[in-house]
Amino acid sequence: MKNSIVLIGFMGSGKTTFGKILSERHHYQFMDTDDLIMKKENMPITEIFKTKGEDYFRQLETDVLKELTHKNDKMILSTGGGMILKQENVALMKSIGTVVYLKASPHTLANRLKNDTTRPLLKGKNKFLFIKDLLAKRKDYYEKGADVIIKTDEKNIQDILKEIEGYL
């Protein structure tokens, strides 16, 4: 029986990138909680943070996960970087599928996000220092929320794909 996969990890860990490739390759449905929220609100994440605030966004994350638990199709679900902050969300993700943490160092993440302007939490910050600090605060949440941890530093995209495919 095919298994759904829920990808968790910090901004830039590759959840959307790998989720899209895997779903196309294996004919799974692809879902991304950030995209679902943007569609629901009809505005970019940066705009939701700016006009309605982070708490409002965090509630939408839980709402969207709840809706996904009612779906029967097997899927690859890419989640927002802060999804693991609520225990309730972790339980919902585990009820959807195998929770895979794409782990990367602050150095790797800062490098991948150096030209990015779409993540409101990173706006106007020294990216490396900000990521290092926030990742240290979130490390336990990611590791405890995961069923499986995949280290992505210094691995090429094909090798990471193969590892995730082991859990499909």
Ligand X SMILES: Nc1ncnc2c1ncn2[C@@H]1O[C@H](COP(=O)(O)OP(=O)(O)OP(=O)(O)O)[C@@H](O)[C@H]1O
Ligand Y SMILES: O=C(O)C1=C[C@@H](O)[C@@H](O)[C@H](O)C1
Partner in contact with 4, chosen from Mg ion, ligand X, ligand Y, none, beta carbon below 5 to 8 Å by kind: none
Does 81 sit near ligand Y (CB under 6 A)? yes
Burial of 43 (0-12, 13-18, 19+ CB in 10 A): middle
Match 């009820």 to its residue by tokens: 95
Partner in contact with 96, chosen from ligand Y, ligand X, Mg ion, none, beta carbon below 5 to 8 Å by kind: none
Q: What angle do CA 139, 50, 54 make, to 5 degrees?
A: 35
- In the bound state with ligand X, the residue whose beta carbon lies nearer, of 84 and 96, is 84
Q: Map residues 9-48 to x or -, x wherever contact with Mg ion holds by CB under 5 A.
A: ------xx--------------------------------
At its nearest, how many Å lie between ligand X and the CB of residue 143?
16
Site for ligand Y in 99-138 (CB under 6 A): 119-121
At its nearest, how many Å lie between ligand X and the CB of residue 1?
27
Query: Footprint of ligand X on this chain (CB under 6 A)?
Result: 9, 11-17, 34, 78, 80-81, 112, 119, 152, 157, 160
